[in-house]
Amino acid sequence: MKSLEITEQGQHTLAEIFSQPQSWSTSLAKLATSPELLAAAHFARPGAQWIFVGCGTSYYLAQAAAAAFNHLQLPAQAIPASDLLLYPALTLHAGREYVPVVISRSGRTSEAVRAAHLLEKTYNLRTIAITCADGQPLESKSSVTLKLLDADEQSTVMTRSFTSMLLALQYLGATISGNDAFCRTLVDLPRQVEPLLKEIPQRLRHFVEGRAFSDFVFLAQGPLFGIASECSLKVTESSCSYAQVFHSLEFRHGPKSIAGPETLITFLMSESSYEAEVELLEEMKALGAATMVIANRIDSRAERAADFAVELGLTTLEYARPAAYTVWGQLYGVYYGLKKGLNPDAPKNLTRVVELADKQ
């Protein structure tokens, strides 16, 4: 890691972002040999619906994990913990079988802990927890806990914990479905991403320092929508900037009215929807918007229409790549926060854990 990338403010968040390939390797290696992985895999039942539950970043992680499980022929949905607590009947239906997974970096997030308690005690559903901490309340409320202790962070915002837990859940899904190729491509992802962190971040920082924007938009379809949501949140958290997220092609249906020189639109483009998204990219560029593209391969059309582009060049399977897309939204948020004179390690109004007072 170059010293250029570490400043007094934001140093912990940046260090945690750059440590992700190592965190992924360590977390997956330990997970693969853990008895907890096998115990969680045994919860799978034919026809059961997987429910991924989280708050904030962990909810966006739930969206990305659900996309991977659906791809692996394991029916899944993501739901905010608050919705499960307030409107359980909209998710849980009599006569259906469910396998819940509750996500919390700290294992102390009040709504996540309460959701696990509701699922276990009220609905008698054996629940899987995933966290980056040991011995926390979520673990005591769940039947099995996957713990990625090496992915924990000092910073307020989640970065390597998000991507490491995502890879762990993808690995769980691939293990359950017997997809060894998917497991192998997840294990190989850190090796392929690490070289990207040597040169692209410096170019990205120069781009951030050269342009100021009043609006940020992140667009994606399918397996990358949860990642776009998380990138949008990282810009909001780390730089106190207003950011929005839309399904890419939905942006034409009203939201494109904000397109213009003061709006940066970031496209997270996957291979399956690439052609449709390139057309949208060209359309937004013609409307005067600034554009950033993150894609595995970038052709000449996308290159011409992008003010900044990140080409990943990965050989891994398409549905195993979302973690690699996340890094650049994380970095953009930190760099823009530093540009504004903020400290992304300790964003305004935020705490590392959201803990609510116990109900009387």
**Is 97 found in the same domain as 23?**
yes
Same domain as 200, residue 185: no
| Confidence at residue 359, expressed as pLDDT on a 0 to 100 scale | 62
Domain end (from 128, 160, 190): 190
7 pLDDT band (50/70/90 cuts)? very low
Q: Are 312 and 233 in the same domain? A: yes
* Contact of 118 with 86, CB cutoff 8 Å: no
Predicted pLDDT at 360 = 43
Residue 352 lies in a domain: no
* Per-residue pLDDT tens digits for 218-231: 999 999 999 999 99
Average pLDDT score over residue span 71-91: 97
What is the C-alpha to C-alpha distance for residues 59 and 49, in angstroms, rounded to an integer? 17
**Residue 130, pLDDT above cutoff 80:** yes
Look at residue 14 in the predicted model and tell me its pLDDT: 96
Mean local confidence (pLDDT), 94-120: 96
360 in a structural domain: no
Contacts of 312 (CB under 8 A, 6+ apart): 193, 196, 294, 295, 296, 321, 324, 325
Is residue 324 domain-shared with residue 181, that is, in the same domain? no
Single-letter code of the amino acid located at 344: P
pLDDT for position 160: 97
Task: Give pLDDT tens digits for 175-206.
Answer: 999 999 999 999 999 999 999 999 999 999 99
Question: Per-residue DSSP letters for 157-219?
Answer: S-SHHHHHHHHHHHHHHHHHHT-HHHHHHHHHHHHHHTTHHHHHHHHHHHHHHH---SEEEEE
**For residues 94-114, b (16+ Cβ closer than 10 Å) or e, as one string?**
eeeebbbbbbbbbbbbbbbbb
* 356 — pLDDT class (breaks 50, 70, 90): confident
Mean pLDDT computed over 28-57: 96
One domain for residues 129 and 233: no
- Looking at the fold, whether 19 and 78 belong to one and the same domain comes out as yes
From the CA atom positions of the chain, what is the Rg in Å? 20
Are 323 and 221 within one domain?
yes
Boundaries of domain holding 273: 195-339
Give how many domains the chain has, as a whole number: 2
CATH of residue 290's domain is 3.40.50.10490
Please tell me the predicted confidence (pLDDT) of residue 10.
Answer: 84
Given this model, what pLDDT does residue 289 score? 97
The reported pLDDT for the residue numbered 83 is: 97
